[in-house]
Amino acid sequence: MSTLAGCGAGEADGQKVTLKLVAADYGDSKANSSQKYWDDLVAAYEKAHPDVEIDVIVHSWNDIDREVKEMVDAGEAPDMAQIGTFADYAAAGKLYEVDDLLSIPVQGNFLGQLANAGKVKRAAYGMPFAASTRVLFYNKKLFAKAGIDEAPRTWGELAADAEALRAAGTKTPYALPLGPEEAQAETMQWLLSGGAGYVDNVGTYQLDSDDNVRTFTWLKKELVDKGLTGPTAPARLNRADAFDAFTRGEVGMLNGHPSLMKMAEDKGVEFGTAALPGREGRSRSALGVTDWMMAFKQNGHQEEIGDFLDYVYADKNVLAFSRAYDLLPVTSSASQAMAEDKDTADLTPFLTELPSAELYPAGKTSWAEVSAAVKREIGTAVSSNAKPRVVLERLQETAVGAERGD
């Protein structure tokens, strides 16, 4: 791709080019809304490119995917969208390939496993924008009160620690958020720790595999049925509520991402982190999550979009965003810079997990439907009268149907 220089593509015909970007909000209040990040970035870019105008609209994560879908369905696609999924739009032929947008150095700087996850049928359409991994958080004060010296390494140790925490009066020994907000994340973490995942090595759904059934059977029998997951049923516990309870000092252990660190620190909670426990030892891999940038072909402006996105992925901008929202950089050079920065040393456990982390099967056009089904149903797999195998078999049927386009 040939990127633009100087004043941008609009200079040739004297017309100002306006690009519309719809982006997700990573802030939790107006004061730290992502709108401020984009306003600052766009102001700097437009100063150097006076013939290009960037119009950024920020929506909450509750609304962003729906907003973009409605725009596309109405024939009014934005030039760029920074959202959670891309495969449906790619499969429908609506997106530019990454090769047609970004300069080679920028493309080559993406972390390999993130870049690969942005492909549909071996062509890249999704550009990773922000990443995170998950680790086990534990409350040091509650651990000390329960006589626990270190984080659990195995499921058996986690269950024993949860028993000790309950005996010491902890309200929620282990928080298991399988409510509809982000159940697909908690689910995948446990599936990975049990040696499997949503898909097998060739990308075929395996939700009802023996390993996965064994994982959820263990969760139900050893944690939920024994009352070790707190007063709220996992099917009704959302991640945000679990995080809030941890910051109130009510939770002994839970899986969390980097933003939980600042939340806990702000509330004075002393916590530790560790790799996720597995069936026999530490989990073979952690869950990695990335959100996506994509560019729609409807309005043209291929070169202008590519030039702007090259700027978006400059180290200074990637690092500014990552630091503002306690997220992990998606490029190699920014990741190295963050790893070497003593001010972000607390992110080291998450950075360490990222190269080997496994991501959602985001390149499958069926994933959005499967993810929605997991959010809706997986919590019932650990309810009092449930049979985990039956729930997982039902989800597998949904996944197979989604793959066929039923």
Query: What is residue 62's predicted lDDT score, i.e. its pLDDT?
Result: 77
Query: What is residue 383's predicted lDDT score, i.e. its pLDDT?
Result: 94
Mean pLDDT of the residues in the chain: 91
Query: What is residue 406's predicted lDDT score, i.e. its pLDDT?
Result: 61
Domains detected in the chain: 9-131+289-355 (3.40.190.10), 135-285+366-404 (3.40.190.10)
Can you tell me the distance from the alpha carbon of 378 to that of 224, in angstroms, rounded to the nearest whole number? 14
Handedness of CA 25, 28, 29, 33 (dihedral sign): negative
Query: What is residue 243's predicted lDDT score, i.e. its pLDDT?
Result: 95
Beta strands in 9-168 (DSSP E): 17-24, 52-59, 80-83, 119-120, 123-124, 127-133, 135-139
* Mean pLDDT across 142-167: 97
Query: What is residue 10's predicted lDDT score, i.e. its pLDDT?
Result: 46
H-assigned helices in 295-347: 302-312, 315-324, 332-339
* Mean pLDDT across 283-309: 92
pLDDT in tens, 336-385: 999 898 888 888 888 888 877 889 998 888 998 999 899 999 999 999 88
Query: What is residue 3's predicted lDDT score, i.e. its pLDDT?
Result: 34
Can you tell me the distance from the alpha carbon of 275 to that of 286, in angstroms, rounded to the nearest whole number? 8
* Mean pLDDT across 225-243: 95
12 pLDDT more than 70: no
Can you tell me the distance from the alpha carbon of 71 to that of 57, in angstroms, rounded to the nearest whole number? 12
Per the model's pLDDT, the better-predicted residue between 380 and 122 turns out to be 380
Q: What b-and-e string marks burial along 107-129, b requiring 16 or more CB atoms within 10 Å of the CB?
A: bebbbebbbebbbbeeebbbbbb
First to last CA, the chain: 38
56 pLDDT more than 50: yes
Query: What is residue 11's predicted lDDT score, i.e. its pLDDT?
Result: 43
Burial of 246 from C-beta contacts in 10 A (0-12 / 13-18 / 19+): buried
In this prediction, residue 31 has a pLDDT band, given cuts at 50, 70 and 90, of confident
Query: What is residue 7's predicted lDDT score, i.e. its pLDDT?
Result: 38
Q: What is the DSSP letter of 147?
A: T
pLDDT in tens, 391-404: 999 999 999 999 88
Question: Cβ(295)–Cβ(70) under 8 Å?
Answer: no
In this prediction, residue 192 has a pLDDT band, given cuts at 50, 70 and 90, of very high
Q: What is the DSSP letter of 356?
A: G
* Residue 113 to residues 14, 118, 186, 215, Cα–Cα distance (Å): 41, 9, 21, 26
* Residue 382 to residues 235, 240, 266, 278, Cα–Cα distance (Å): 8, 20, 33, 19
104 pLDDT more than 70: yes
The fraction of the chain above a pLDDT of 70, given in percent, is 96
Phi-psi region of 249 (alpha: psi -120 to 50; beta: other; left: phi over 0): left
* Mean pLDDT across 273-298: 89
In this prediction, residue 8 has a pLDDT band, given cuts at 50, 70 and 90, of very low
Query: What is residue 13's predicted lDDT score, i.e. its pLDDT?
Result: 54
3-state DSSP: the chain helix, strand, coil percent, rounded to 5?
Answer: 50, 15, 35
In this prediction, residue 14 has a pLDDT band, given cuts at 50, 70 and 90, of low
211 pLDDT more than 60: yes
Query: What is residue 2's predicted lDDT score, i.e. its pLDDT?
Result: 31
Q: Which residue has the tokens 């060739």?
A: 202
Query: What is residue 6's predicted lDDT score, i.e. its pLDDT?
Result: 36
